[in-house]
Amino acid sequence: MDYKTLAHKAVEAKSNAHPPYSNFHVGAALLTQDDKLYLGNNIENSTFGLSICAERTAIFKAMSEGERKFKAIAIASDSPDFITPCGSCRQIIFDHCGEIDIICTNSKEEYKVFKTSELLPHAFGDEDLKK
């Protein structure tokens, strides 16, 4: 699947967003190495801290179905600015997806591609636990 299509899937995923508190709708589309697609959206909770981002929803959905190898994740919101993953999601992407392409879109469906290491340089990971 090309990244323009993946970006559009993230826009479609956004329609299921549940952000009653921030009203900031986010969708994510995660592509596995064998081209399977998992969608996610943000889901907010009345205790705020239990809310989950679109990226993590997509990654946890995929991992709970047994997926472990990923190629790319696209993220979409209604903002005119390119949306990039929050710090927590960058760590989750680093730990569970590795060095993948992160497709950051704006509301015109234009996109920029970043590698995980560009968005989370000098990351702490499982290798550090073995030292």
CB 103 within 8 A of CB 111: yes
Identity at 54, one-letter amino acid code: A
69 neighbors 107 (Cβ within 8 angstroms): no
**Size of residue set near ligand THU by CB under 6 A:** 15
Name which position in 12, 24, 112, 125 contacts ligand THU (CB under 6 A).
24
Residue 67 falls in the annotated catalytic set: no
Q: Which amino acid belongs to residue 2?
A: D
CA distance 73 to 93: 9
Q: Which of 44, 55, 99, 109 is catalytic?
A: 55
Would you give the binding string for ligand THU spanning residues 65-104, x where CB under 6 A is met?
A: ----------x-------x-xx--x---------------
Among 14, 29, 31, 44, binds ligand THU (CB under 6 A): 44
Closest by Cα among 117, 103, 116, 120 to 13: 103
Interface residue list for ligand THU (CB under 6 A)? 19, 22, 24, 26, 42, 44, 51, 53-55, 75, 83, 85-86, 89
Active site residues: 55
